[in-house]
Amino acid sequence: MRVRFLLPEEGDLELLRALDPDRDFERFKRGECAWVLQTYLRLAAAGKPVELTDRLPEDGIVVFHAKHRRWLAARGGALHEAVLVGIRGDLGTPAIADFEVLQNGFHADGLRRFHIPHWPQPGLLRRDPARGDAIRRIAYKGFARNLEAGFHGRRWLDFLAARGIEWDYGAAEFAGRDTDRLRLGWHDFRRVDLVLAVRPPSKRLHPSKPATKLFNAWLAGVPALLGEEVAYRELRRSPLDYLEVRDVGEAIAAVDRLTGDPGRYRAMVERCAERAAELTPATWIAAWSELLFSTVPRLAGEALASPLRRLPLPARAGVRRLGRWLALRPAR
């Protein structure tokens, strides 16, 4: 089956096909580019038979981002011969998809929903080892809305100032397509000694979010203070993998613990190197190749034979949403 990555309304596809994620990393801030375009480019560079299109194919395997589910539904009709693989990202489930790719394993079932981690930050620059074991700079690299409110306040800033620690707040407001033009330095960890990433609290521990910030910290050789999240906990095998903190108070205690124990800080840096060894591009390429060239083709026959294929995409999505609601409805 042909495998095509769908990226509508992006302009010149020839220009996109010529991009290199590690050279042109500024172009991969938006979810649809970080997922769809980057996966296409890396698989193509590895010699895999994949294609990039801005038109909806009528057959084969079509990989799309959940952001484009309405665009696809408005143009797709019944799409009898196309097998749709939707990348959920940070959004809700794309119910028009036959199969889904999830950022962590929380909702994955290995039948219709598959976990493939988000790619690490392209073009990443590692921490300068000459910085030693001193903590002189703590960085947040992400969108402003994804940082717990207390870290915008005086208690955190005054604590850092009192310890002589620089706060590298590499954040911005998400700006849709204009996000591409923001120069945020998310790839540069050369002068970073600790990574902080604590989202606003969630009772369900952010089950849709990826572990990207942890991957980036490991690859950069920088210990991390991270919030309570499903994706991070799925990967944790040692107390040295990262320190979990819920708020400013716990972050302050963690920083003081590390500054008072350089040996522990050094052990966390060494642990970063151990975990980073697992995160080669080949890991992601193998996972995507297995899904698109083995698993989905093997399961496609059942999907194509489903009575849902006779329905237009919006109706098909409605049936799936109803089925999920009935399955989750408490028994009486």
The 3 state secondary structure assigned to 99-116 is EEEECCCCCCCCCCEEEC
The whole-model pTM stands at: 0.89
Distance CA 223, CA 68 (A): 36
pLDDT at 216 over 50: yes
Exposed/middle/buried for residue 44 (C-beta within 10 Å: 0-12, 13-18, 19+): middle
**Which residue would you say has higher pLDDT here, 323 or 4?**
4
pLDDT at 330 over 80: no
Which pLDDT score, from 0 to 100, does residue 181 have? Answer: 47
Lookup: tokens for 204:
């369900």
Percent of the chain whose predicted confidence (pLDDT) is above 90: 73
Question: Residues 22, 37: contact at Cβ < 8 Å?
Answer: no
Question: Helix, strand, or coil here: 21?
Answer: coil
Contacts of residue 199, defined as CB under 8 A and 6 or more positions apart, other chains included, come to 146, 147, 148, 206, 209, 227, 229
| Per-residue pLDDT tens over the stretch 15-31 | 999 999 999 998 898 89
Confidence label for 79 from pLDDT (cuts 50, 70 and 90): confident
CATH number for the domain whose boundaries are 129-276? 3.40.50.2000
Confidence label for 328 from pLDDT (cuts 50, 70 and 90): low
Instruction: Give me the sign of the Cα torsion angle 122, 15, 102, 245.
Output: positive
Distance CA 118, CA 140 (A): 18
Question: Residues 272, 217: contact at Cβ < 8 Å?
Answer: yes
What rounded mean pLDDT belongs to the chain? 91
Distance CA 81, CA 56 (A): 12
Distance CA 313, CA 69 (A): 10
| Per-residue pLDDT tens over the stretch 241-267 | 999 999 999 999 999 999 999 999 999
Which pLDDT score, from 0 to 100, does residue 162 have? Answer: 98
| Per-residue pLDDT tens over the stretch 81-129 | 899 999 999 888 888 999 999 999 988 999 999 999 999 999 999 999 9
pLDDT at 68 over 50: yes
Domain spans in the chain, listed from the N-terminal domain onward: 3-120+280-328, 129-276
Which pLDDT score, from 0 to 100, does residue 324 have? Answer: 65
